[in-house]
Amino acid sequence: MSNKICILDYGSGNVASVYNMVSRLSSAIISNKASDLENASHIILPGVGSFGASISKIREKIPLDALFSSLERGKPFLGICVGMQVLAEFGSEFGKYEGLGLIPGSVDELNSASEKIPHIGWNNILIQQNHPLVNGITEKDDFYFVHSFAFNPSDPKMNIARTNYGADFTSVIANENVMGVQFHPEKSQVSGLTVLNNFMGIQ
Amino acid sequence: MRKNRIIPIVLFKDGHVVQSKKFREYKNLGNPLLTINRLSEWGADEICFLDISRDNNWQGGRSDLNERTPATFLEVLAEVSKVAYMPLTCGGGIRTMEDVELRIKNGADKISLNSAIFCNPALIQDAIKEYGSQSVVASVDVKFVGDKYKVYIHGGQTCIDQDWKDYLRRVEDLEVGEILLNSINNDGGKEGYDLSMLSIATSLVSIPVIACGGVGEWEHFRSALTETEIDAVAAANIFQHQDQSVYQAHKFLFVHGINVRPPRLLETNYLKVTTNELL
């Protein structure tokens, strides 16, 4: 089956970067039209910037009814960076904001007093449980991170991988077909391409 | 564990990649798309793409080599971002929010600002407000003159009247994500970084500092990463003159026990579109 990836467009700065990489693996479009969402085989929500600014733009620009009904039908979904964080119920960056509530939990400031914030740079992930998204990934794979906040899932079973930066935080999360990565796979060389390719292999 | 980054800098002037010495002499090294594609395939952690053109003197591609000839820096940026499998920082000639937006829109992940820090700090604040601190890099050029360090702007042409330590603190107060600190004296000299400048700077600010200026051998990366508190090492010329340079740099540091990503070439076997098709 040939994939068609819809990269959700809500004015996030890194849409072009995500498109550049995804379109080299599969056919892809950047869109916020309900029909494109419905016709896509996979959906990606990119993200860069703060929780509050992103969630308001998402609510304004993305047809959430179409998104939620696609997700209920089991369509694979990947949130990247802030695109992962907004899946939570709440975010506490610059005030308290309500997220999309697709994965129970909240997004709170990184708990790494001993390290510089934001966490900028390459770091590895420590896989907590097998998941198709992290097939072939080991502790030797590094990914590019840029963030000051992290996802605290209420249900530890949704925590697929953790990363250490002063303290551990959730770097890969999954609630059935709704998945998220805190790092930027589109900017993580071959390790990132492996994760994106894994995502596109999930039907 | 977070790794120290190794960042190739690609200097772009009037349509071509160039090599620089002391901010004065420039040697043409060729096509930016091919250059950045190579650095990406060799596993760069990040690339800093700086437009150092000063006047409107665009020379474009080589018609004798049948190269495609983009007409503006932004067109070049849009093309190189398609082969950048790692974060791409873009700097040079950014004076307005529109300049910032156009760079982000054409594929830059971060923008680097230099003269604007001094001339137009409101631009830095606006850029941070719109894209976040992590997207803004402050590039600071420093020259050792007489017995002290001084900050220069406008591509090393204008010395500013402010103590360099106060200037670095001021840069941090603007809430930029990181500082790219370049030594004008050491630029192109191949004698290594100015380690004392780096040590002073990292003791002054708590945001990440990227070392720049003077690398002539991989050992210079190692000494900076072991003898100072810098977070990343950058260099331009050294990455241009040997095959698989980025891979070799990672290998050297990794073997010497430095906390960097292991050397790894980009295996592109599952890509639908090859770079040759893009070119």
CATH code for the domain in which residue A123 is found:
3.40.50.880
State how far residue B153 is from chain A, nearest Cα, in angstroms: 26
Statement: residue A159 has pLDDT above 80: yes
Give the closest residue to A87 by CA, choosing from A12, A172, A198, A22. Answer: A172
Is the pLDDT at A120 greater than 60, yes or no? Answer: yes
How much is the pLDDT for A24? 86
Residue tagged active-site, from A42, A119, A147, A184: A184
* Residues of B in Cβ contact (< 8 Å) with A14: 109
What global pTM score does this model have? 0.90
Sorting pLDDT into bands at 50, 70 and 90, what band is B28? Answer: confident
Number of domains comprising chain A: 1
pLDDT at B54: 79
- Report the 3 state secondary structure along chain B: CCCEEEEEEEEEECCEEEEEECCCEEEEEECHHHHHHHHHHCCCCCEEEEECCCCCCCCCCCHHHCCCCCCCHHHHHHHHHCCCCCCEEEECCCCCHHHHHHHHHCCCCEEEECHHHHHCHHHHHHHHHHHCHHHEEEEEEEEEECCEEEEEECCCCEECCCCHHHHHHHHHHCCCCEEEEEECCCCCCCCCCCHHHHHHHHHHCCCCEEEECCCCCHHHHHHHHHHCCCCEEEECHHHHCCCCHHHHHHHHHHHCCCCECCCCCCCCCCCCCCHHHHC
- For B143-171, the pLDDT digits (tens) are 999 999 999 999 899 999 999 999 999 99
CA angle centred on A68, ends A152 and A127, rounded to 5°? 35
Asked if pLDDT for residue A121 goes beyond 70, the answer is: yes
pLDDT of B268 reads 64
A186 is annotated as an active-site residue: yes
Q: What is the DSSP letter of A74?
A: T
What value does the mean pLDDT take over residues A76-83?
A: 96
Contact B87 A184 (CB under 8 A): yes
Average pLDDT for residues A77-90, to the nearest whole number? 96
- What is the mean predicted confidence (pLDDT) over B209-228? 97
Average pLDDT over all residues of chain B: 90
Please tell me the distance from the alpha carbon of residue B206 to that of residue A67, in angstroms, as a whole number: 41
Q: How many of the other CB atoms lie within 10 Å of CB of A92?
A: 15
* Domains of chain B from N-terminus onward: 5-278 (3.20.20.70)
CB contact under 8 A, B86 and A26: no
Domain that holds residue A188: 4-201
How much is the mean pLDDT over chain A?
A: 93
Question: Which pLDDT belongs to residue B230?
Answer: 95
User: Using the 8-state DSSP alphabet, how is residue A94 labeled?
Assistant: T
Q: How far is A187 from chain B (nearest CA, A)?
A: 4
